């Protein structure tokens, strides 16, 4: 799916270096998402550390990076605004519990139901979202305290440093792969800015603009354990449960889709259900330590994989590196130019976007092309979870519509005047109308045979259609024979059950999609 050709070899050196690179890129993202959620920067940084560390150790996809994400932050903002940050912490705890249950009940397998066009739309939409998120770095605070676009030389310096960063990342691997090119680019650009005294915005400038606090910093202490200060009663549960359910779904969808993409990129396979449990445990712990929760981050995961990170050590290094910056290295890290981090993310955008999707648009069904555009657009306009659900629903409806046309009924007349109908194709909710219309009840003889040997009764709508057809024949005094139906069909048929001719040897054996037999 991706144009990037990643190595499949795990190396501790590569894991550590790529983890350090990721930890640098996590800082502005965590701060920005904390701002979106309406909480302090440290709440986002603590979430990135704890979620990243726990999932790196116990998750089902080594090399995948987790932390605070925008998809979850946009859901949190209304909760924080109305009820306060303590309710957010309680919600994050409940979110984690729901995700743990999802893993225990092995719901991670349902990610396989996501069609390939939806995956392409997800990748393209997320690449656009990552790109748009970087545009905030091109704004500065004016004298009135309002964020405005950079002007003149400041904008030119920003664009020049971004171009330099991207050039280093692109060309350095052609010379050596001993160190991650992204890390080298960040160091080179930082040294260049500091030595020349260029007027370039840094990480600390971004933090202060986001918080509107001239003294703001990423410096802090260790996260402290604290039970969320909320009433433990039914009213609280009613408030936080809807938010927790949405956050759990968004977190798992984004994590499992990212897991699938990293699987394809590295040529290995992660364990979805294990990742669900790890994500849940991470969010539960985070809620008790003052973090905003999170899930897998495709941008940082791509940085990690492209920098050579394959093992758990990369995620662990990224999390511990972030904590080290908070505790000891804040003054150093805050001097990193934003242009270097933006350049890294722009490379991620280029590598993430599925450019080949433009090339294949004319070669794939129009419905698939529509799904790609739809999922991309919905991802940008709303959020990932809604986009994936919409894409799956539209794909399923297209599938049902297409297969509804595949049912056909061939009518034959025997020498003795008996009518024989042979049904071909699946019989389900989408095809029952076409199925019934192909029978000539009024003009058929007294003996009518319907052969289902080349068909399959898929759901309860099909059962009702057979019952309806049988009632029409019986009401006109005609004898109907139903052949090659399963035992389940006979049990579910209310009016036509006695009309089925049983052939123990030749009757098929398959299951019908209905809860009535459960």
For 280-302, what is each residue's pLDDT tens digit? 999 999 999 999 999 999 889 99
User: Would you mind telling me the total number of residues written for the chain in this entry?
Assistant: 518
Q: What tokens does 263 get?
A: 């699987």
Instruction: Place 477 in a pLDDT band, splitting at 50, 70 and 90.
Output: very high
39/293 Cα distance (integer angstroms): 12
55 in Cβ contact with 17 (< 8 Å) = no
Rounded to the nearest 10°, the torsion over CA 121, 127, 132, 133 is 120
- State which CATH number among 3.40.190.10, 3.30.1330.40, 2.60.450.10, 3.30.750.24 fits the domain covering 405-501: 3.30.750.24
- The proportion of the chain whose per-residue pLDDT surpasses 70, expressed as a percent, equals 96
Detail the DSSP E strand segments found in 345-497: 408-413, 419-427, 447-457, 479-483
| Strand boundaries in 325-418, DSSP class E | 408-413
Q: Span 179-186, mean pLDDT? A: 89
Buried b (16+ CB within 10 A) or exposed e, 248-261: bbbbbbbbbbbbbb
Whether the Cβ atoms of residue 67 and residue 48 lie closer than 8 Å to each other = yes
User: Does the pLDDT of residue 342 top 60, yes or no?
Assistant: yes
Q: Are 471 and 499 in contact (CB under 8 A)?
A: no
Say if CB 278 and CB 48 are below 8 A apart: no
> How are beta strands 139-141 and 500-501 bridged, if at all?
unpaired
- Going from N- to C-terminal start, the domains of the chain cover 12-136+218-333+369-375, 405-501
Mean pLDDT, the chain, whole residue set: 88
Q: What is the pTM of this model?
A: 0.75
């Amino acid at each position: 799916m991706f144009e990037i050709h990643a190595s499949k070899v795990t190396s501790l050196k590569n894991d550590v270096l790529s983890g350090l690179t990721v930890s640098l890129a996590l800082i502005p993202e965590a701060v920005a998402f904390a701002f979106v959620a309406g909480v302090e920067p440290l709440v986002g940084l603590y979430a990135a550390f704890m979620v990243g560390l726990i999932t790196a150790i116990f998750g089902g996809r080594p090399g995948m990076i987790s932390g605070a994400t925008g998809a979850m932050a946009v859901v949190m903002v209304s909760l924080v605004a109305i009820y306060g940050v303590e309710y957010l912490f309680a919600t994050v705890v409940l979110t984690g519990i729901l995700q743990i249950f999802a893993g225990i009940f092995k719901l991670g397998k349902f990610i396989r139901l996501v069609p390939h066009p939806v995956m392409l739309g997800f990748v393209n939409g997320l690449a656009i979202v990552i790109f748009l998120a970087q545009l905030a770095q091109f704004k500065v605070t004016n004298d009135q305290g309002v964020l405005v676009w950079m002007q003149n030389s400041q904008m030119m310096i920003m664009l020049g440093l971004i171009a330099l960063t991207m050039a280093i990342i692109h060309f350095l691997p052609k010379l050596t792969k001993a160190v991650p090119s992204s890390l080298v680019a960040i160091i080179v650009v930082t040294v260049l800015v500091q030595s020349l005294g260029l007027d370039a915005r840094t990480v600390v400038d971004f933090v202060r603009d986001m918080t509107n606090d001239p003294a703001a910093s990423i410096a802090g202490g260790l996260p402290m354990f604290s039970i969320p200060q909320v009433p433990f009663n039914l009213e609280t549960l009613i408030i936080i449960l809807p938010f927790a359910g949405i956050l759990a779904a968004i977190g798992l969808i984004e994590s499992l889709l990212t897991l699938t993409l990293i699987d394809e990129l590295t040529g290995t396979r992660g364990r979805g259900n294990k990742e669900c449990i790890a994500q849940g445990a991470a969010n539960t712990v985070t809620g008790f330590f003052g973090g905003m929760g999170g899930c897998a981050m495709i941008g940082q995961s791509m940085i990690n994989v492209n920098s050579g990170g394959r093992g758990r050590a990369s995620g662990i290094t990224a999390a511990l590196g972030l904590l080290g910056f908070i505790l000891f290295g804040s003054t150093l890290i805050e001097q990193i130019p934003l242009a270097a981090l933006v350049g890294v993310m722009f490379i991620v955008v280029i590598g993430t976007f599925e450019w080949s999707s433009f090339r294949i648009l004319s070669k794939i069904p129009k419905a698939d092309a529509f799904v790609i555009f739809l999922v991309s657009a919905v991802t940008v306009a709303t959020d990932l979870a809604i986009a994936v659900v919409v894409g799956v629903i539209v794909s399923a409806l297209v599938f049902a519509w297409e297969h509804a046309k595949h049912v056909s009924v061939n009518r034959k007349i025997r020498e003795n005047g008996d009518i024989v109908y042979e049904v071909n194709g699946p019989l389900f909710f989408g095809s029952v109308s076409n199925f019934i219309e192909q029978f000539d009840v009024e003009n058929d003889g007294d003996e009518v045979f319907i052969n289902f040997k080349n068909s399959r009764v898929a759901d309860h709508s099909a059962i009702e259609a057979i019952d309806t057809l049988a009632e029409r024949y019986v009401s006109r005094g005609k004898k109907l024979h139903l052949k090659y139906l399963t035992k389940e069909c006979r049990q579910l048929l209310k009016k036509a059950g006695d009309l089925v001719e049983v052939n123990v040897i030749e009757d098929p054996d398959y299951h019908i999609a209905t809860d009535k037999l459960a």
